[in-house]
Structure formats: structure tokens, C-alpha cells
Structure 1
Amino acid sequence: MPLKAELQPSNAIDHVHTGILQTPFHSRTSALNINQAWANWNGYASALSFHDEHIEYFATRNTTAVFDVSPMRKYRFTGADAEAMLNRMVTRDVSKQKVDTVAYNVWCTDAGRVIDDGTLFRLADDDFMLCCADPCLDWFLLAAVGFNDVSISDISDDIASLALQGPTSCALLKALGFDGIDNCKPFQIVRFPFGSGELMISRTGYTGDLGYELWVDPADAVALWDALFSTGELYGIQPMGEDSLDMARLEAGFIAPDVEFHGALGTVNRHHDHSPFELGLSWIVNFKKGHFTGREALLKQKESGEHRHLLRLDIEGNKPAEHSILYAGENCEKEIGYVTSAMWSPVVKANIAYGLVEAKYVKGPIWAEIYHQKELRWVRKVARCTVVNRPFWAPDRAKATPPPDC
């Protein structure tokens, strides 16, 4: 008797159009996604763009844009040893972090190579949430060996989350009745009743502009989306995808995994991983707090100064230096690094990039070899690069409390 083919479940998803899994907001994002352009982020359908990435990008700079960050991995650390365990794992001093605040962090191997970066939420004295782009549970469990009173759980699917970014984002939240949200300071957490439970709002984001991240029970996700877009029509609300977010984060001076750096546990070739110092993250490496994973190796690297540097570059001309090789010398005789991200910035009105450069060439001059098309013919251009020591985009409203109702 021939075997009977198994039927697909009624809720099966066509992976060509919508990815493998649906986030709690998918019924709304898919309806708005004219392009039906999706990426696979941790097994979930994540919109690349909805209509035009430039329109979505300008919403982050002029009105309000919404990005579904639900596919981000979220982990809960609880117990009397949670603080000590995390303090041993990450490079910042967790003991100094106050309750209801968020801190950017990285964690490294014993060799001082970055495994991943993320945001650490301190919800109580013995309760933390750590959010990162890629799965890290195995490393967290390994890092907890020797700590008796710490529980680690993957809560990624238990929380739906949206990034609400742009100059009218605070005004929109106030219009929704979240009284006092304008007093929320950068990297602070506040809570409001919503739906069947609670809405947690953190003044955080990945655009460098005024913005918030909203954390809610998946059962209340659609209601939250509908409330935002119903009231948000008066505030220029737009959904945004990964392409526009990537533009905004580069202007803001934020690094991206698998773009600026490769996680140390996933690299194949030697020296293709990175240290915090190479990525410009020396400001979050605290050698005063005592031992943490990678401390000895990082201290040696700091003392030697012999490490690559990820530089913010302002490049002459208007042709983005995507995938460019960087050189030293007027005649470009020495290859010294490469561009990781590049774009023409609409708000900065500059040709900007991130470039990873060998230490001894940091002070320049640095040149980028750019290839671009002119009437279908490829043209080679060598452009001078100027090192920029601050984010390309950092408006005052991003830090102002209360922020203006732009």
C-alpha cells in the first residue's frame, strides 16, 4: 500500500512570500508590504521595505517610523547571582546599572573577540533581560557555570516588540494617553497598563534620533499596532523595513552584526573576528570592575595599541564607496583596509562610510577605490577619505528631556 502524503498544516506559510514564521505583527506588516520583500531574521519574516526605503528612512528623520523588532532574541536572567554572572560575562560594570535602565553591552571570548552585542535591561535587582540580534543561549548557559542562583530562559517568543523612531514619536505616544512619557530619559524604562497586561517602553533605538522601543504581550500586539497607526496618521507614521533602518543606523554611527563584525563563534578564518577596540567600543570596556571574560587579552591589546580601527569616513564626491578597498599613500600603493558600510546620506548631505583600517594608517591620508556605473559602463574613481570622530547624525532632540513635539 503506498504511503499517504502528509498534508500541510492549515496555518502553513508560503516561505517565498512571507518567510518561515510570522511575528505577532505580521497580519499588519504583510498587509502594508506592497513590495512583499522579506528577509529571514532568526526564522521570522522581516520586511526589507514596504514601498520605498527612502520614504521610510525620511520618516525616521521627519515624522515617525515603526520597525518590527520581534525577531530579536530576548533572554531573561533571574536570581541572586544574575548580576554577578552578567558582570563576569559582559565588558561593562553591571553592578553600576540602575533598575529600570538599559545599557549597551558586548560579550567576548577568552581571547577578547566579540561574540555579539546587545542591550541589557535591568528590570529589578535580580531580574534582567538581554536582547541581541542572534541566538546566544548556549554561550549564556556556559557563562553561568559556577553561579548557583541564576536562571536563564529564552523569552524571545513571549514578547512582541516595536521600534518607534522619529521626531514625532513622543508626541504620538502622548496622544495615545501615555502620560509622563515625555519625562522618560534616554535609556530609561517606563511602564503603562495596556490591553490585557502591561506595555513596557524604553527610550532606546537604532536610528540615532528621538525614539522608543515598545515591549508587549503578543496577545496585545495587533491592538498596539492599530492604536499607533490610527492615532499616528496625524504624526506622519510609516512602517519601515531593514533597508531604511540600515541607512539610519549608519548615519547614527551604530555597528551591525555580519556587516561591521562577525561573531567570534561563527567565523571560520583566523583574524576574521573582531575585538571591542577594533570596533570603536573601548568606551564600554571597564577594566576597573574586576575579572570578566576576555579581560586579560583585551588589556594586552589596549596596551599594545596594535589593532585595527573601525573609522567613520567622510568620502569626497557623491558615489557611495560600497565594498571599496582602502589605501594609504597618494598613489594608493598600500592596501590598508576595507569599507564595511557606505551610503550617500540624505540628511547629512555627505558620502559616508565605515572603514576597518590597520592601526598605523589611522591618521591617514586614506583613499577609497570606488567603482560605479556611468551609462552602463564601469568607472574607477579614487576618493580621499576624512576621518570623522563623532556620529554623522546626532540631533539634540535625541537626548532632550522632555523632547520637543516636532
Structure 2
Amino acid sequence: MTPRATPLPRDHFLTPLWQTPFHPRIATLSQTQQWYAWAGYQAAQVIRDAEQEYFAIRNAASLFDITPMVKYRIEGPDAEAFCDRLTVRDVTKLKAGRVQYTCWCDDEGKVLDDGTLFRFSPTEFRLCCQERHLNWLLDSAIGFEVEIAEVTEEIAGLSLQGPTSFAVLNAAGFAGLDTMKPFDIRRVAVAGLEVTISRTGFTGDLGYELFVAPGEALALWDLLVEAGCRHGITAIGYAALNLARLEAGFIVANADFVTAETAIRADRRRSPYEIGLGRLVALDKQRHFNGRRALAREAATGASRYCLVGLDIDGNVPADHALVYHRGRREVGHITAGAWSPTTKRNIAIASLERPYGDTVTDDLWVEIYAMRELAYQKLMVRARIVDRPFFVHPRRTATPPGTM
């Protein structure tokens, strides 16, 4: 008798990366076979051509698989009180049918993660983020009448972004979405599918995120692709999305800042004020929240050690991960994300600088870039100017009703 191999558990170190419910369609389209690991899933870095995929975001419609995004269901009579205790924003102001961008901290006021909080009803929430935090959430829930469960594998998600995204949904039979405002949520039935749709995204453009049960994922993909064939719909990978999010001025956990639980060195952790999220901190809300005392002290004393700024850099050589200097001599920070922006025709970047640089000292900044020139690296010292984020802004992102181009 031939011995049968015992299947390995999904968290075994020899287990290959998981595949999302949309993987059969994406793998068929992939011409590059460029994949990366996202939260234990196999995800596309580039499907056909990164530049073509980027222009689909800005000029037509793009389709990106967001299934690996970590998702938690938070439900119960104390769900609002728990979320208000957990996050820095005032959750009592979040109405049912709305989404709130937020972050949450440890007791020292250092950011554990950022993400989106969906409120479906007075007692039902969904928290979406980059890292896994189930143990932290469960420990934080002691004393609250609330149930918390990770539902990442139970929900398949697609991000549909771009100026024709509303037209695609309209052609696919999604009725009544013309009244949806940014950060609105709807639960709709279309073509036999139960879809949760939010007017959210990570591109700074008109866009939506759609969530279905895994068994309905391929039917949703096919529905959108068929409806979008006349509207330039294109499946994209993370390379294109990353450029669009940089133009929009959005930050990524463990790219633009290190999450508190994953930081090896204590000085790598950042507070909301140090990564440009100070505007979210509701020190005046009634309930206490994790890190409140530390954040109140930091706000009162101006004790923030770092700041995250947007940079406009001379030339067209991307400055990703380059060092930033004051007067070309003193090292004051580094670039966390940088690229040449095709839409704005600017060399843009997000940088983490040590205060007072980027705060009260904003002039005479330089970036050290090493550019490949005929198989040899050439050191470039180029000027950089602090500018407001986002780098890309378009009225269609918030227009209600959206355009149907």
C-alpha cells in the first residue's frame, strides 16, 4: 500500500503561500509571473506592465485583489465602546453605513497599525488593516460585551479604482450608487451575488471596494470584467497601486513607518503625530483610549521627535530610500517612498525627518541619490523642497454623483 502524505497545516513553515479566490483569473492574465507575499497570500506585483496598469488607474478603471487585507469582525452590545477605546478617533461620530480611516496605539502612544473601520449597524463593525492583531484586540476587549474574530479568509475583496469605475458598476447592474458619498457603505444584490460595496480606495481617485463570499468571487470578477470591457478595465498589481498611493500621499505600514509590535528597536516606533496622522487623534473625546495620556503629553509639550513630509525633488531620478541632508552635510532623515509621478510630472517622495527639520527648519534640504549611468553608479546631490500632500488631487474623487465617462 502506498503511504498517504499527511497534509501540512496552513501555518506550517513548508506550506506554500495561500491563493485568493481570484487567483485563477489573475494567474491566467499574468504575463510576468511577478508575485510577492502579502499577509501569507500570493499576490501580484505586476500582471502585464506596471506602467500600463498605473495609467488604467488614472485614465480608465483598474481591478486589484485586496483579499489578503486583514479583516476583523467586531460585534456585540459594546462594539462601539470597544472600538472607541481601541482607536484614536471618536467612533461615536461614525454613523452606520460609513467608513472611518483611523489608527490605534499601544500605551506609550506608538502606532500599532492604521486601517479602516466599517460600521454596518450600531453593534456591527469590521476593522481592516495591514498586520494581524487578534491577540491585542482580544486583550483589549476584556470587560466589554463584544465578540471579535478574524474573517480574512471568509471575505474576498476587489478594489475597483479609476475615472470609469462608476460607469463599470453601472453597466454591471449596480443600481443606486450615484448617491454614494466617499466613505459610504452599501449592501446590494446584483446578478445573484450579495455584495458589500464601499466608496473607498488607496489611489486618491474615484473608486470603490467590493466584498463577497469566497464562493462568489469569480462570478463577481467576471461580472466586472465583462461590464468594464468598454471602459478600459485592467487588472493591476501592487507596483501600479503603490505609485498611485504615493501620488495620493497615503502611507503604508512597515514601509513609511514601523508598527510598534514589529519594531525591533524601540526608537523605530512612531506616534500618530510623527507619521502625519495627528489630525486623527481625538484627545477631546469622552472615552479613554489606548495611548491617550502619552499622546496628550506629546501634543502639549511638542515632544515629537520626527515628522513625515512630502518632498518635491529636482530631476527625474526616483529617490526611493535615499538619505536626506540639510545644507548637503548634516543627515536629517530618509525617503520612505519615492518615484517619478507620470501624472504630475514631478519627482515626488515621502520622507521621515528628525525634528526640527521638516517642522521649523524647512529650507536647504538635499537628497543623495545613486543613479546607474552606463553600468556605473553616479552620486547625485539634488535639491528637495517640502510640499503639501497629496501630490495628486482630482475633483472626481469626491464628486457626487460621479462621472460616467
Q: Which interval holds the TM-score relative to the shorter structure?
A: over 0.9
The 5-angstrom pairing of residues 353-392 of structure 1 reads: 353-362=349-358, 363-392=362-391
Q: Distance in 2 between matches of 1:196 and 1:231?
A: 16
Please report how far the alpha carbon of residue 199 of structure 1 lies from its aligned counterpart in structure 2 after TM superposition. 0.7
Q: Distance in 1 between matches of 2:250 and 2:104?
A: 17
Structure 1: gaps of 5 or more residues:
none
Query: Is the 2:193–2:220 contact (alpha carbons within 8 Å) kept by the matching residues of 1?
Result: no
Q: Distance in 1 between matches of 2:38 and 2:26?
A: 15
Q: Distance in 2 between matches of 1:115 and 1:9?
A: 34
Q: Distance in 2 between matches of 1:228 and 1:198?
A: 14
Establish whether residue 199 from structure 1 lines up as the match of residue 195 from structure 2: yes
Give the secondary-structure state (helix, strand or coil) at the position aligned to 2:220: helix
Please report how far the alpha carbon of residue 42 of structure 1 lies from its aligned counterpart in structure 2 after TM superposition. 1.5
Q: Deviations along 1:150-177, whole A, 9 cap, x unmatched?
A: 0101111111100000000001101111
Aligned to 2:91: 94
Please report how far the alpha carbon of residue 380 of structure 1 lies from its aligned counterpart in structure 2 after TM superposition. 0.9
Query: Is the 1:185–1:399 contact (alpha carbons within 8 Å) kept by the matching residues of 2?
Result: yes
Structure-2 change in CA distance of 1:38 and 1:8 (3 Å): farther
Please report how far the alpha carbon of residue 195 of structure 1 lies from its aligned counterpart in structure 2 after TM superposition. 5.2
The 5-angstrom pairing of residues 5-404 of structure 1 reads: 6-7=4-5, 20-147=17-144, 149-194=145-190, 197-290=193-286, 291-307=288-304, 308-329=306-327, 332-362=328-358, 363-404=362-403
- Overall identity of the aligned pairs, in %: 44
Query: Is the 1:195–1:220 contact (alpha carbons within 8 Å) kept by the matching residues of 2?
Result: no
Please report how far the alpha carbon of residue 403 of structure 1 lies from its aligned counterpart in structure 2 after TM superposition. 1.2
Q: Deviations along 1:194-251, whole A, 9 cap, x unmatched?
A: 3555111100000000000001111111001001111211010101111111111000
Q: Distance in 1 between matches of 2:259 and 2:269?
A: 6
Q: Deviations along 1:22-65, whole A, 9 cap, x unmatched?
A: 11111111111111111111111101110111111110000000
Give the secondary-structure state (helix, strand or coil) at the position aligned to 1:361: coil
Q: 1:315 is matched by which residue type in structure 2?
A: I
Query: Is the 2:166–2:402 contact (alpha carbons within 8 Å) kept by the matching residues of 1?
Result: yes
Q: Distance in 2 between matches of 1:189 and 1:74?
A: 16
Query: Is the 1:19–1:39 contact (alpha carbons within 8 Å) kept by the matching residues of 2?
Result: no
- Normalised TM-score (structure 1): 0.94
Give the secondary-structure state (helix, strand or coil) at the position aligned to 1:134: coil
Q: Distance in 2 between matches of 1:304 and 1:364?
A: 24
Give the secondary-structure state (helix, strand or coil) at the position aligned to 1:20: coil
Q: Distance in 1 between matches of 2:383 and 2:175?
A: 50
Q: Deviations along 1:274-321, whole A, 9 cap, x unmatched?
A: 111011011110001131100111111112223211000000111111
Q: 1:238 is matched by which residue type in structure 2?
A: T
Q: 1:302 is matched by which residue type in structure 2?
A: A
Q: Distance in 2 between matches of 1:285 and 1:258?
A: 20
Query: Is the 1:326–1:339 contact (alpha carbons within 8 Å) kept by the matching residues of 2?
Result: yes
Larger mean CA deviation between 375-384 and 18-27 belongs to 18-27
Q: 1:96 is matched by which residue type in structure 2?
A: K
**Aligned residues, how many?**
397
Q: Distance in 2 between matches of 1:351 and 1:197?
A: 43
Q: Distance in 2 between matches of 1:50 and 1:5?
A: 39
Larger mean CA deviation between 270-279 and 298-307 belongs to 298-307
Give the secondary-structure state (helix, strand or coil) at the position aligned to 1:277: helix
Q: What CA RMSD, in Å, does the superposition of the two structures yield over aligned residues?
A: 1.9
- Normalised TM-score (structure 2): 0.95
Q: Deviations along 1:370-389, whole A, 9 cap, x unmatched?
A: 11011112111111111111
Structure 2: gaps of 5 or more residues:
none
Query: Is the 1:19–1:38 contact (alpha carbons within 8 Å) kept by the matching residues of 2?
Result: no
